[in-house]
Amino acid sequence: MQPGGPQFELYARPSRLLTAFRTLRANPLGGVGLSIVLLMVVIAVFAPLFARYGINEYSAAPSHGPSAHNWFGTDRFGQDIYSRVIYGARISFQVGLLSVLLGVLAGLIIGSTSGYFGGWIDTVIQRFVDAAIAFPQLILLLIVVRTLGPSMRNVIVVIAIAIIPSTTRIIRGAALTEKNQLYVEAARAMGAADFRIVFRHVIPNVVPVAIVVSTTLLGAAILAESALSFLGLGIPPPNPSWGVDISTSRSSFPLNVWAALFPGIAISLTVLGFNFLGDTLRDILDPRLRGAR
């Protein structure tokens, strides 16, 4: 609460850093989410510093539980699970970031166009979106990867495609509100062309919505990658994808629960981080989206 009157000028405007700090204090879960995500990013970037063995390096007798030598135990090939989980962060974040970037960018352009122009363009785009949403998601992913062949590039493309329809719908809703704002009218009055208005005015103003959507989608994309890899239609083994490692653990004999446990904890923790962060960002940046999921 800022009291009115002359003493108003005594207060300096809080710095950005301070604002960010206060926001985090008011939303402890968001802070937890951010810390988890940052930790995972650091692990992914500096994976070789954290890992104790190479990705496909034989370290000790296969299918053993945690020990001082192999912190998370060994898998059925005698590889160090801890090191594979560390390198797995790289795959998850690469797939997550690239697919969400591609998908949300496409959704941003298509959705803004659809919302801004309205009319038949909007109708056609929205009917395509309807059909795409009616198509069962996981089955779409499976069919496309089966067709293109499992590889990291294809997994990224496929998840990006799956992201486009729902993003388009949300961005369109946001663009509809922006379209009627005074500044758009002003731009038009100054003679700006439609495409200039869309790219210079509408899109920058719906970016906050896109950021909120992206945060939650990052978690979803990482889950999707691990599920595809688990089913054998994602990142091909012996790459250290978390999904691949859980799948491999199922065929080990004697059974070794540790080999399934740790990669799953890594997935859950990462997705949890993005969910906490997404919820908090949604509350701060865009109250309209509350309960949208």
- The answer to whether residue 127 forms part of the interface with another protein (CB under 8 A) is yes
- The answer to whether residue 139 forms part of the interface with another protein (CB under 8 A) is yes
Greatest alpha-carbon span in the chain = 77
**Residue selected from 20, 46, 118, 130 as contacting another protein according to rule CB under 8 A:** 130
> Which of residues 7 and 251 has its CB atom nearest to another protein in the complex?
251
The single-letter DSSP state of residue 199 is I
Backbone angles phi, psi at 182, to 5 degrees: -60, -40
- The answer to whether residue 257 forms part of the interface with another protein (CB under 8 A) is yes
> Which of residues 70 and 256 has its CB atom nearest to another protein in the complex?
256
What torsion do the CA atoms of 221, 225, 231, 234 make, to the nearest 10 degrees?
Answer: 140
The single-letter DSSP state of residue 59 is -
- The answer to whether residue 293 forms part of the interface with another protein (CB under 8 A) is yes
- In one-letter notation, the amino acid at residue 110 is I
**Residue selected from 45, 124, 131, 186 as contacting another protein according to rule CB under 8 A:** 131
- Judged by DSSP in three states, 180 sits in coil
Rounded distance, CA 50 to CA 72, Å? Answer: 13
- The answer to whether residue 121 forms part of the interface with another protein (CB under 8 A) is no
Rounded distance, CA 226 to CA 231, Å? Answer: 9
Closest distance to another protein from the beta carbon of 170 (Å): 17
- The answer to whether residue 72 forms part of the interface with another protein (CB under 8 A) is no
Rounded distance, CA 266 to CA 214, Å? Answer: 20
- In one-letter notation, the amino acid at residue 127 is R
**Residue selected from 87, 93, 116, 230 as contacting another protein according to rule CB under 8 A:** 230
List residues binding another protein (CB under 8 A): 127-128, 130-131, 134-136, 138-140, 142-144, 146-149, 219, 223, 226-227, 230-231, 243, 246, 249-250, 254-257, 260-261, 263-264, 267-268, 271-272, 275-276, 279, 290-291, 293
